[in-house]
Every structure is written in C-alpha cells, then in structure tokens.
C-alpha cells in the first residue's frame, strides 16, 4: 500500500526537520520538498518563482514516488485548505492509497523566533499571513485525509481522526 505523509505547518514549525528524521529512520521514503524543488529550478530555495513551475515538478515527483516507493513525504506549508486539497487530489490521482496529514501546530511566536535563527528567513508578515490562513481553516479529515495527527511543540502527537 502506498502512503503519502503530508506535512502542514508554518515556516519554523519543524516540518523539514521532521521530514529529514522520517527519511533517516526509513531511507526508502521519498522526500518531496517544495524548498528543494525551488532550489533545483531557480537555484535558490528562497526564490518564490512561478508556482506553476514548482507544481509541475511536485506532480512529476508524486508520480515517480507512487510508482517506486511505498511511502513518500510532502514537505510544504500547506497552510491553505485549497493547497491541501489540491495536493491530496494529486496524490490520489497518481496512485497513493493512504493519505496521512501531520499538522505541526506550533504557536506563531515560536515559529517567528525559530525563523529569526535561520540563515534563510521568511518575512514575519508572511508567517503572520499563513498563520491567519491556517487558523481560519485548520486541517480536518474533510480535506481528504485518511488519518490526521496534530503535533505540539513538545513533540506529543494527538490523533485527530482516522477515516473509517
């Protein structure tokens, strides 16, 4: 059974850190990262070039992952419900049978502080805007997940729901 783990969270919430840990624990997992895709396409992960180019590469990597591995991780903010649903629809279309959402629900002030310690910083106003979007439309099973977990900053996870 092929499974996609879709990460959700603000910049600085720990998505990429978690993704690297998950891949280190099980190297057969394929990591699909919008930051890595931006670095590949534009030469720098901080360049917010045309989303259509990034999305085309996400599509290609989803197709490849569904064919060659049993599990993949999609590392992107997915702060907007429409972005989550679009990624979930693509995952189903490309052959992923199980979709697991992992929401890193870290308070915005912690994300802002972590962001300030990074070499590549996301502007504070962008993080606040994403926080507003994520707060107004938090992830739910209605987005299309088969299972959804909410992780707190102390590393505890709470199973929100699992679809029947």
Number of domains in the chain: 1
Closest CA to 15 of 122, 88, 96, 98: 122
Structure tokens at 162: 């699992």
Tell me the CATH number at 8.
3.40.50.300
pTM above 0.75, yes or no: yes
Burial of 45 (C-beta count, 10 Å sphere; 0-12/13-18/19+)? middle
Sign of the CA dihedral running 67, 73, 77, 83: positive
**Which residues have CB under 8 Å from 80's CB, separation 6+?**
133, 134, 137
Q: Is 27 helix (H, G, I), strand (E, B) or coil?
A: coil
Show the domain range for 76.
Answer: 3-162
What tens digit of pLDDT does each residue of 89-121 get? 999 999 999 999 999 999 999 999 999 998 888
- Write the pLDDT tens digit of every residue in 19-46: 999 999 988 899 999 999 988 988 777 7
């Amino acid at each position: 059974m092929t499974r996609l783990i879709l990460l959700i969270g603000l910049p600085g919430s720990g998505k990429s850190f978690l993704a690297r840990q998950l891949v280190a624990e099980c190297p057969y997992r394929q990591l699909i990262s919008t930051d890595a895709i931006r670095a590949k396409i534009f030469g720098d992960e901080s360049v917010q070039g045309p989303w259509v180019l990034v999305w085309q590469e996400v599509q290609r990597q989803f197709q490849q992952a569904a064919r060659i591995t049993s599990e993949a991780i999609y590392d992107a903010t997915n702060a907007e419900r429409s972005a989550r649903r679009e990624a979930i629809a693509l995952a189903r279309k490309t052959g992923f049978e199980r979709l697991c959402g992992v929401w890193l629900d870290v308070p915005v002030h912690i994300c802002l502080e972590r962001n300030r310690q990074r070499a590549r910083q996301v502007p504070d106003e962008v993080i606040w805007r994403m926080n507003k979007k994520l707060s107004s439309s938090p992830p739910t099973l209605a987005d299309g997940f088969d299972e959804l977990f909410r992780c707190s900053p102390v590393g505890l996870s709470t199973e929100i729901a699992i679809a029947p």
